């Protein structure tokens, strides 16, 4: 997941960057909530080589 968050922070738009920053500050429960709320966002940055 660290690479996904790094890609979001580096290549994402303002929303993706904000979600990545929220993820960094979140506890385990809120990380799960973020992933559940925005699965397509996490999936799009999780792909290797993207």
Report whether 6 contacts 50 (CB < 8 A). Answer: no
Domain count, the chain: 1
Helix (H) / strand (E) containing 16? helix 14-25
Structural domain span for residue 28:
2-46
Both tokens assigned to 8? 């979001």
Question: What is the model's pTM?
Answer: 0.85
1-48 pLDDT per residue, tens: 889 999 999 999 999 999 999 999 999 999 999 999 999 999 999 986
pLDDT reported for residue 25: 97
Query: Which phi and psi (to 5°) does residue 13 adopt?
Result: -75, -175
pLDDT reported for residue 49: 52
pLDDT reported for residue 47: 80
pLDDT reported for residue 48: 61
Alpha-carbon dihedral sign for residues 3, 9, 12, 18: positive
């Amino acid at each position: 997941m660290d690479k996904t968050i790094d890609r979001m922070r580096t290549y994402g738009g303002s929303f993706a960057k904000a979600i990545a920053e929220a993820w960094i500050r979140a506890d385990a429960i809120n990380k799960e909530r973020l992933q559940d709320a925005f699965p397509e966002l996490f999936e799009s940055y999780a792909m290797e080589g993207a």
